Amino acid sequence: MAAAGGVRSRLHNFLEGADIGGGRRLVITGCKTSLKKLVVENAVIVFGRRGCCMCHVVNRLLLGLGVNPAVCEVDEEKEEAVLNELSIVNGGGIQFPAVFVGGKLFGGLDRVMSTHITGELVPILKEAGALWL
Amino acid sequence: MDFPSTQFVSSRTMGTYEPIHQIGMWGENFKSISNPNISASVIVDVANKLENESETTSHEMLASTSKHDQEASKPFDKIQRRLAQNREAARKSRLRKKAYVQQLEISRLKLIQLEQELERSRQQGLYVGGGLDTGHLGISGAVNSGIAAFEMGYERWMEEQNKQICELRSALNAQISDIELRILVESGMSHYFELFRMKSSVAKADVFYVMSGKWKTSAERFFSWIGGFRPSELLKVLVPQIDPLTDQQILDVFNLKQSCQQAEDALSQGMEKLRETVSATLASDQMGQGIYVPQVAMAMEKLEALVRFVNQADHLRQQTLQQMSYILTTRQAARGLLALGEYIQRLQALSTLCANHPREPA
């Protein structure tokens, strides 16, 4: 597993993250990547298809709230495998984009939007340690 | 589109693939595209190239298998090799399917354009219908009927809307009970949700129709954002009309306004990214090849995301209305709905006025 986090400069990360709408881009290398580990180690992680605009929307929204989500862009070929593994981790069905908060599946764009409007999202993010203040 | 999609579903869910069978199937399908204008050589080349690659791979596999047999038989390695072979075959199959679908879309494009040309000639009396029956709608027919159904539905919706606004107005002027007022508020909200459902339905048929707001008056279109009003703008219209608010309500409304703004910004940026993606796809290499190229089909695939944007925008509108109804009292909500309804009516009146305003000759 390769995490794009610690080794690069913040500026590099920021520039690279720009086209995914923000956040830290993670790369899945090989079949040995433990998605479960990624989910557990990151307060907020977003899984989505490469180049997906809905994923971009989720990331922009989270970034606007002050969250720095980990973003996992999945190639079309690996899509099925990733979806399957995430379903196992979650114990149920998954669709892209999939947002995990505090190690558990939070939902898709629909849920992020609704909870944001009702004001429930920010407290949940704070509780998971994704937001301070 | 009439092609055996079920075959692909079943082979994806099965654990094993049969590479040779897949290649044969694709080869036949490619040859059956009989449109002479498509460069058939391109299609056959792609199919041949993929066939050759796959054959080479299986030869290599066989060679290395026998070598391993000589050394030591490792069943785990054999399984791994088989899995890798399957993945490779599946990947190639997916690529072939994609190329096939793109060629189909191009054929559809040509067919639609031909039908439209035919219809134009017929209307001009240049062509008297040959083998086609005069009631033939063509491929565009289904989309047009979806739009026609929506427009009829919207006309009814607007009539009902105006009726409800009148009812609200008289209810607020008379002193009816909160319970009765609550019923009016609930039906007002449901009425809006009904419109979102209708829009979602027609967006599947023609997303640009919803995006363009053709079904609305010109002044309404002027304020259009992803097929409708900006929730934050609606709040700006509503809030002054429902004074006085408690301190808690003021805070809640402020937070709601801010959340709407943030959600709208995120969606707008997503839309911008979609535009960039579609533009880049349409313009990608192979310029000078005319218009019947895979790029157009690929861009269409990307544009399917637009339907999701329209749905998300309406979802946002619905959530905002819902949240407002939680924050406000029944009476405030009723005044809010009335204000919203009248605002839209004034916009429509504005459109009529602008359209019929006498202008000085330039």
| Residue pLDDT, tens place only, B279-299 | 998 887 767 778 888 888 888
> Are B262 and A64 an interchain contact pair (Cβ–Cβ within 8 Å)?
yes
> Which residues is A24 bridged to in the sheet?
A70
Angle at A100 between CA A99 and CA A105, to 5 degrees: 100
Please judge whether B266 and A58 are an interchain contact, meaning their C-beta atoms are less than 8 angstroms apart: yes
What is the per-residue pLDDT for B160?
A: 97
A70-74 and A98-101 strand pairing: unpaired
Contact residues, chain B, for A116 at CB < 8 Å = 259, 262-263
Lowest mean pLDDT among B39-53, B122-136, B242-256, B309-323: B39-53
ipTM over 0.85: no
pLDDT reported for residue B297: 87
pLDDT of residue B38: 39
Q: Would you say B253 and B214 are in contact if contact means Cβ atoms under 8 Å apart? A: no
pLDDT at B117: 83
Round to whole Å and give the CA distance between A34 and A37: 5
Average pLDDT, chain A: 82
Distance, CA of B171 to CA of B178 (rounded, Å): 10
How does B30-66 read in b/e, with b if 16+ C-beta sit within 10 Å?
Answer: beeeeeeeeeeeebeebbeebbeebeebeeeeeeeee
- State the DSSP H helix or E strand holding residue A104, giving kind and residue range, or none if neither: strand A104-107
* Contact yes or no for B94 and A57 at CB 8 A: no
The H-or-E segment that residue B141 falls in is: helix B139-173
What is the pLDDT, as a whole number, of residue B3?
41
In this prediction, residue A10 has a pLDDT band, given cuts at 50, 70 and 90, of low
Closest of A127, A121, A123 to residue A62, by C-alpha: A121
Output the pLDDT for position B287.
72
Q: Residue A133: is its pLDDT beyond 80? A: no
State the pairing for strand pair A70-74/A24-26.
parallel
Its pTM stands at 0.73
Residue B48 banded pLDDT, cuts 50, 70, 90 = very low
Residue A3, pLDDT score: 43
Task: For A50-63, write each residue's pLDDT tens digit.
Answer: 889 999 999 999 99
Contacts with A24 (C-beta within 8 Å, 6 or more apart), sequence order: A3, A4, A5, A13, A17, A68, A69, A70, A71
Q: State the pLDDT confidence band at B362, using cuts at 50, 70 and 90.
A: low
d(CA B358, CA B354): 9
Q: Using a CB-CB distance cutoff of 8 angstroms, which residues of chain A are in contact with residue B259?
A: 116-117, 119
| pLDDT, chain B, mean | 80
**What does the pLDDT average to over B256-277?**
96
- pLDDT, tens only, B302-345: 888 999 999 999 999 999 999 999 999 999 999 999 999 999 99
Q: What is the CA radius of gyration of chain B?
A: 29
Instruction: Give φ, ψ of A49 to 5 degrees.
Output: -65, 150
Distance in Å, alpha carbon of A26 to nearest chain B alpha carbon: 20
pLDDT band at B43 (very low <50, low <70, confident <90, very high): very low
Distance from CA of B288 to the nearest CA of A (A): 26
Inter-chain residue contact A57 with B320, CB threshold 8 Å? no
Cβ neighbours of residue B314 closer than 8 Å, sequence gap 6 or more: B196, B199, B200, B227, B228
Closest CA to A62 of A17, A93, A1: A17
Please answer yes or no on whether A109 and B259 come within 8 Å at the CB atom.
no
Q: Is B229 left (phi over 0), alpha (psi -120 to 50) or beta?
A: beta
Contact A51 B277 (CB under 8 A): yes
Q: Show which of residues 47-106 on chain B sit within 8 Å of chain A, judged by CB atoms.
A: 91, 94
The rounded distance, in Å, linking the Cα atoms of B1 and A42 is 43
